[in-house]
Structure 1
Amino acid sequence: MRRRRRIVGVVSLAGAGLLGKSLSTKPGSPEFYGLTLGVAGTWTLGGLASGPVHRGWVQDRDQRLSRPVITPVLTGVVAFLVFYLCAVASRHVPVLDRAISSVLRYARVGSSRSVLLTTLVNGAAEEIFFRGALYAAVGKQHPVALSTAVYSLATTSTRNPALVLASAVMGALFGLQRQATGGIQAPMLTHLTWSTLMLRFLPPLFDNDVPTAAALR
């Protein structure tokens, strides 16, 4: 446990630093893609190096165990709908409107496939580390609250209030899924579903505020 906690502590600092750096680069640039993949690699390698990471199980009415699939995906869809409605409301809150528009620059500029790939890779990597390694390292004392707090704290390196708020809400949801299933498969599927839908449907809502590639040259 001590070894896992040491690794988790070092990786948390390294990953947070790279995350903040990645969102200070030019959208669509090689530096952006390189750093975001570096963040994913840091979370993944650090999480796996710290010790075993379990997928988790759910039990049906007949007491049979199975891997969680359908419910996590549906949870991701519901989470997206809630966030979409909140995004609509945020258009009337200047600080959140600016923060979301700032993040969406990275979704609008460059290759859509590359953006989707880095988004999904980072989402999976975050679950391996935060709901896998970090959650296990915390122990039995308030693992959901503490893992969510560290997740949100790492996100503060982006200096974006919308991302920090989203990390607190979704981090708590992912943590509860980890607690309920005993593994990372459920939160990972929810995370990937939510991220994909956000990436697909949120940018058009902020089209007037998000610059094009030509405007950023």
Structure 2
Amino acid sequence: MTRRHATTGLLPRWLVEKVPRDHRESDAAFAHRRRVVAGVSVAGAGLLGVSLSSEPDSPRFYVLTLGVAGTWLVGGLRSGPLHLGRVRVGEHTYRRPVITPVVTGVAAFGAFYAAALVVRRIPLLDEAITSVLSYATRGTGPLVLTTALANAVAEEVFFRGALYAALAERRAVPVSAAVYATATAATRNPALVLASAVMGTLFAAQRRASGGVQAPILTHVTWSALMLRYLPPLFREPRPVHVGSTG
């Protein structure tokens, strides 16, 4: 057994097994998709960077954040047909993925929460995460949740929908994850870039396995909602004060 087969054998079948694709595109449609993706990638990344330089809970922040979501969503839809995807449940039976993506989102949150307990001891990442979470702690709850979930859906429509479909199949997972992390780099926040690299790879693997955006959308929404609900209190806890020797 090769190393690759040994590794994939440890992963869930739905994450590594492709299902038959239900669409093909002409060369002209593929070229159009690539042009749209290139332009929207630059515009969306720039707007994302500006939005997270705004004051938390300010009207400017909410307008710009929703603008980012709108950019990803419109870009994804304008690029060409997108598909929800299917997963295999039997020898010749397929269905839309629902339960497994939600469970995956919960598991991803658990992994990030455990990592956060360690990250709090790393000053650079602790400061970066606290900075990002200030938009949740200082913001208006319903508005923060709305903008976060809107961006979760829109990012999947664009990055795992339009962008993924514009790439060669054999390179789509690593390249789409890299572009996702690069776009997030516009925020100049190392914690966000690291999270986007990890989750972007997971979302892209779901896209590859299911052939559509439904699985990554459900995982992303579940993960984001749990992160907003449970992570901010962890980083609001008082830090121990270390008193140096005066002798």
Q: Same fold (TM over 0.5)?
A: yes
Rg larger in structure: 2
Q: Give CA-to-partner distance per residue, 1:106-138, whole Å, 9 cap, x none.
A: 001121000000000000000000000000001
What is the TM-score when the length of structure 1 is the normalising length? 0.95
Give the 5 Å matches for 1:1-217.
1-208=30-237
Q: How much does 1:62 deviate?
A: 4.8
- 1:22-52 CA-to-partner distances (Å, cap 9, x unmatched) read 0000000000000000000000000100101
Separation in 1, partners of 2:37, 2:179? 11
**C-alpha root-mean-square deviation of aligned residues, in Å?**
0.9
| Counterpart AA for 1:145 | P
Task: Indicate the residue corresponding to 1:214 in structure 2.
Answer: none
* CA offset digits 1:128-165 (Å, max 9, x no partner): 00000000001223100000010000000000000000
Secondary structure, aligned partner of 1:42: helix
Instruction: Please state how far the C-alpha of 1:61 moved relative to its aligned partner.
Output: 2.4
Secondary structure at the aligned position of 2:166 is classed as helix
Deviation at 1:200, TM superposition (A): 0.2
For the residues of structure 2 that align with 1:58 and 1:156, how far apart are their CA atoms?
32
Q: CA–CA distance in 2 between the matches of 1:104 and 1:110?
A: 10
Q: Following the alignment from structure 1 to structure 2, what is the Cα–Cα distance between the partners of residues 165 and 103? A: 13
Greater mean alpha carbon deviation, residues 56-65 or residues 147-156: 56-65
Give the partner amino acid of 1:24.
S
TM-score if structure 2 supplies the norm length?
Answer: 0.83
Q: Give, in whole Å, the separation in 1 of the partners of 2:170 and 2:204.
A: 13
Aligned-partner Cα distance in 2 for 1:9–1:109 = 34
- Number of aligned positions between the proteins: 209
- Using the alignment, how far apart are the partners of 1:133 and 1:148 within structure 2? 13
TM-superposition CA deviations, 1:153-209 (whole Å, max 9, x none): 000000000000000000000000000000000000000000000000000001147
The list of structure 1 runs, each at least 4 consecutive aligned residues, that deviate by more than 4 angstroms after superposition, is none
Deviates more, 1:117-126 or 1:61-70: 61-70
2:102, 2:165 → 1: CA distance?
24
**What residue ranges of structure 2 are gaps of 5+ in the alignment?**
1-29, 239-247
Deviation at 1:64, TM superposition (A): 1.5
